Every structure is written in structure tokens, then in C-alpha cells.
Structure 1
Amino acid sequence: MSRSSLLMLGALLALCACHANLLPVPTRPAEDPDFTVEAVPEPAGMEPVAPGTFRLQPGDVLALRTISPAPLEVPRLSVDDAGLLHAPLTGAVPVAGASLEEAETRLQERLRRFDRFGIVSLTVVEPAGHRASVLGAISKPGTYTLGGLTRVSDLLAMAGGLKWTEGDAEAVELADLEAARLLRDGEPLPISIPRALTGDARHDVPVAPRDVLFVPALRGATVRVLGEVRGPRLVSWRQGLRLSEALALAQGLTSDADAADVRVIRGPLSAPRFYQARFTDLLQGRATDVELARGDIVFVTKHWFASGTEVLQRLLPLLAVGTAFAL
């Protein structure tokens, strides 16, 4: 057996110890004398701005029509990589960064040599130059066209949301949303993606062409919920995550669960700390909900008649699966 397996087995043996040897779990991780809270500053956000004018970008496809006794109509014209529009009789006209009205004026000036009274009309057929990329641990990574005002939350929804994997024992969220960033011109914007998903206007900012939303894979930012719950799983950890929330995300307790004996394992398996939470006291208003720490393992035991061997047989493979996903 490997050293990591031995450490895991030792931790589980301690987990199955008598209730009397377990301390109550601290209400907040900061109250745990052996737990160090890592301060992670949250981005300040950006001042909300009014939606700007549509500006042409390389790749946009336009339709050209002139209102004239000798009308001209071209159903598809693309702005090339140099930002130029090549229309009949006008030659190459620079339009990148221009509004539709400005582009119409530039083309109309070129056409005056051939049609003194013609009026140019441009319409957008396909805003293919207005695209943003979504990369990382999301369901459908790729490049997406920004049809009108598109905010960060809209772009993430277009990409199918965060990436998950389904297993026999757990449904695992594989994305670290806390560490996700929106990059513009190669620099991260000072916004929080989780705050953007709550609709906070300072963080749910409009996406600009060529922006990149990067959502990294999960690296330890989890709480594992195992044992007598209906849906054992890895829960994505965030600051302030409560025991009741983690259990709810695991679809609640089974009929065999001992709600008075919920174990919390904190710290590395080489030197774990073991606590007990009486969830029955919380449900009856006699206790404060417990705030969980990054990397905690929550294990809901059976009623008193469950043997330690049964607990070990059930917990060891589940914990091993969770450890594999965390690597």
C-alpha cells in the first residue's frame, strides 16, 4: 500500500473513533487555532458605463445599398484584417473602429465621383468581428459572436456554464470560478466573475470584441461531502460556505443518517484534525451554522448501529475518487 493510502486509512480510522473524543467544529475557520486564513483580495470592480456605439471590426459582414436613380446593391462585404472595406467604385475604405454612420459617410464621399446624389446605406449582416473567446474548464470552450450588448454572465451562459463531470458517486464541478478572469488586451480586468453572476453591475461588465474569459480548472478549492447524503459530491468552495449549504448541495441526508454526528476533517491527511457537528442542534435553532474551510471533508455517519468497518468500506473509495479529482 502506498504512503498516501496509509495516511488516508489512518485518517479514516480516526474518523470512526468514539463521539466523545471529537471536539465540536469551530463556527468559523478563523476560530480554529491551527487554521490559517489566506487573505485573497477581491477585485474592486469597474464603474458602470452606458452601452457604447456599435463600432465596425475586421471580420464584420455588411450589406451595401445606395438610394439613387442608378442604385447599387451588394449583399455581402467583409471588413478585411487591415480594417478596410472594398466596395464597388470606392476602392479600399478604412472603416475599422467607425460607426455605421461614419462608414456610410466615408463610402458616400468616395462615390461622389460617380453619383453626385446617391445616398449610401450600410447594414450589418453578420457581426463576425465582434467575437470573444471563452477558455478553460467550461462546457463549450470556443469563440462566440457578441450579438448586441453582451455581459460577462451572458458570455458564460453562451459557453454552457462551468464544466462538470458525472460519476457513480459524485457530481464534480471542475472549474475554479473564484480564479476566473476576463482579459482585455492581455490584461485582467479588476472584476470578480462570481460577483458578475450575481448581477453586480460593477463586475458584470459588457464584453468587448477580442476579450478572453478564462476559467481555470479547480485546484483544491473544494469541500467533499460524503457518507449518508443522497448525492455525495465535491462542492465548489467559496468564502462563507456553510455546512447547511454543503449538505443541501449534496441533496440532503438519507434516512439512515445520524444528523447528530456529522464529522468534519480539516487539514492535510498527514496531520488531520477531526471535529463533530450536531446538525440536529442547527435544525432546532440551538446552534449556529458552521462555516467550512477550503479543503474540508464532511462525512455524515449512520445511526449508532453502523460499524466502523462499514464506514471504512464506504468512505475509502469515495475519498479516493475525490482525491483523484483534486490533483
Structure 2
Amino acid sequence: MTVLRVRKTSHRLTVITLALAGLSLAACQPGTDSIVPAGDAGYAAIDVPQGDGVPVRYLLLPGDVVSVQVYGEPELSVAEVSLDNAGMLNLPLIGGVRASGMTADDLSSAIEAAYAAKFVRDPRVAVLVKKTQLRTIAVEGEVALPGVYPYVEGQTLLTALALARSTTEKAKLDEVMIFRTVDAQKMAGRFDIRAIRGGRMPDVALLPGDIVVVGFSGPRGAFLDALRAIPAIGIFRPWR
């Protein structure tokens, strides 16, 4: 698998940025340990399946290319159409259809409903994903090979660490951070790799754009403080 290497300067800037974000969280959310859900409640809060934590359906994103076939209506079928920056498709007669965040089957149903409302009796629509945008995840901190890696469907925290050649001897395995942005909302969570490897907690499904940061086992100033700023293991928590 191709690895997109991160330069040393970029790596340092990323670590500093994440440390400052964690310190900001600590200042804004004092004493949250007792109210933040943990364990099963924490996983349920972000809708991560118990078990292997692997996403089972591909969700469309802006820039993806799909084909839309309306059976028996060749003039309404489109061989290739891209989702625009807002995640919309522009189709004959019905115009804009929101597609971002939907599966191909969900989008087929939405298009069928739009055509059935005014234009076609009992339409049957098939959507095929033809091209997806390059998606990546980043793995930083105490791993053997930090860098930016291509995201593939079904990727988890453990597989991401495997791509980075696993953790170093200095890694603090109960302070593995995931930073995530969903619909412009920034989120973060802390996970215990030992518990996941031992089967005591589920693996964590990753999304494109996730940043994984493995903490240090010894005092390293502000960065260690940033890792300790997230109060609960095994959850995501909105942060600003």
C-alpha cells in the first residue's frame, strides 16, 4: 500500500496543534469525568457497533462520481455525474438531489421518489458508484512510521496502527487519541489499545480524515497534558 510520508516539520506542527487543542478543551470543560458516558454508553453515543466496529456501507461524499440509470427512461439516465462541493447531484427534470452522506441504495430511493412525485409512474432507479475521491487518515505520535495513509472502507483503529508499523516502546497505550470532524463539528476521544486488543472493548471504526495520535509514556510537557485533557476512555466528545 502506498504511504504518503509526512515531512518532519509538518509532523511537529501537527503534534503542537493537537496539543493546543487538547489544552483548550481542558480549560473549557473542567471536571467532566463524572458526566461523560464511558464503556457501552460511550460507544452508543457515537453509534459505533459493538463487535468489530467496521462500517458496512459506503457513504457518498462531494467529488464522488456515480452513474444513474432510470429503467425504461434513457433520456433521464446519466452515465457519469459528480457530486458537487455541496454534495448535490444535478439530474434531468428534477434538478438538484442531495447525495452526500447517503449510500447508493439510499440515493436510488431518493431519486425514485423525486421522479415519482411529478414525472414518472413507478420509476426504478439504480445508482452505481464509479469513482471516489482519495481519502486519507493520519497516524501521529509514538508509532514506528507516522504519516498519512489512504483510507479504505472497513478501516479501524487497530488496522491504522498496523499501517504505522505499530506503537513504540515509549507509547502510552491507554492514551490513544482520535480527532475527527463531522459536518464542521470537531470531536475527540481517548481509547485504550490494550483493552481493545484484549477484547474488553470493541475496535473503533475510522472515518476519512481521522487523525490518530498515540501518547507518550513519560512526561513530555504540554503534549502529555493535551492527551490527558479528554476525560473518558472509549468515547468521542465534541470539543471547540
Q: Taking structure 1 as the reference length, what is the TM-score of the superposition?
A: 0.41
Amino acid in structure 2 at the alignment position of 1:105? S
Is 1:62–1:78's contact at 8 Å kept on the other side of the alignment?
A: yes
**1:176 has 2:136 as partner:** no
In 2, the alpha carbon distance for the partners of 1:74 and 1:156 equals: 40
| Residue 130 (structure 1) shift | 6.3
1:86–1:217: structure 2 CA closer, same or farther, 3 Å change rule?
A: farther
Is 2:176–2:212's contact at 8 Å kept on the other side of the alignment?
A: yes
1:58–1:215: structure 2 CA closer, same or farther, 3 Å change rule?
A: farther
Secondary structure in structure 1 of the residue aligned to 2:201: coil
1:59–1:89: structure 2 CA closer, same or farther, 3 Å change rule?
A: same
Secondary structure in structure 2 of the residue aligned to 1:189: strand
**Within 5 A, what are the aligned runs for 1:286-297?**
none
1:201–1:183: structure 2 CA closer, same or farther, 3 Å change rule?
A: farther
Rg larger in structure: 1
| Residue 127 (structure 1) shift | 4.6
Q: Which runs of 5+ in 1 are unaligned?
A: 1-42, 164-172, 222-327
Q: Which runs of 5+ in 2 are unaligned?
A: 1-36, 221-240
In 1, the alpha carbon distance for the partners of 2:93 and 2:165 equals: 47
Amino acid in structure 2 at the alignment position of 1:180? V
| Residue 72 (structure 1) shift | 5.2
Amino acid in structure 1 at the alignment position of 2:178? L
* Cα deviation code 1:195-254 (max 9, x no counterpart): 33x153624122234432123567579xxxxxxxxxxxxxxxxxxxxxxxxxxxxxxxxx
In 2, the alpha carbon distance for the partners of 1:143 and 1:64 equals: 31
- Which residue number in structure 2 is paired with residue 31 of structure 1? none
**Within 5 A, what are the aligned runs for 1:124-203?**
124-128=129-133, 131-138=136-143, 139=145, 141-147=147-153, 149-157=154-162, 159-162=163-166, 173=168, 176-178=171-173, 179-185=175-181, 186-196=186-196, 198=197, 200=199, 202-203=201-202
Q: What RMSD over aligned residues (CA atoms) do the two structures have, in Å? A: 3.7
**Within 5 A, what are the aligned runs for 1:24-39?**
none
Secondary structure in structure 2 of the residue aligned to 1:155: helix
Amino acid in structure 2 at the alignment position of 1:119? R
In 1, the alpha carbon distance for the partners of 2:140 and 2:90 equals: 33
**Within 5 A, what are the aligned runs for 1:281-320?**
none
| Residue 68 (structure 1) shift | 1.4
1:95–1:152: structure 2 CA closer, same or farther, 3 Å change rule?
A: same
* Cα deviation code 1:8-47 (max 9, x no counterpart): xxxxxxxxxxxxxxxxxxxxxxxxxxxxxxxxxxx96444
Identity %: 22
In 2, the alpha carbon distance for the partners of 1:76 and 1:201 equals: 46
Is 1:45–1:192's contact at 8 Å kept on the other side of the alignment?
A: no
1:44–1:200: structure 2 CA closer, same or farther, 3 Å change rule?
A: farther
In 2, the alpha carbon distance for the partners of 1:122 and 1:151 equals: 27
* Cα deviation code 1:232-290 (max 9, x no counterpart): xxxxxxxxxxxxxxxxxxxxxxxxxxxxxxxxxxxxxxxxxxxxxxxxxxxxxxxxxxx
Is 2:76–2:91's contact at 8 Å kept on the other side of the alignment?
A: no
**Within 5 A, what are the aligned runs for 1:49-128?**
49=49, 53-70=57-74, 73-112=77-116, 113=118, 115-128=120-133
Amino acid in structure 1 at the alignment position of 2:125? V
Is 1:177–1:194's contact at 8 Å kept on the other side of the alignment?
A: no
1:57–1:70: structure 2 CA closer, same or farther, 3 Å change rule?
A: closer
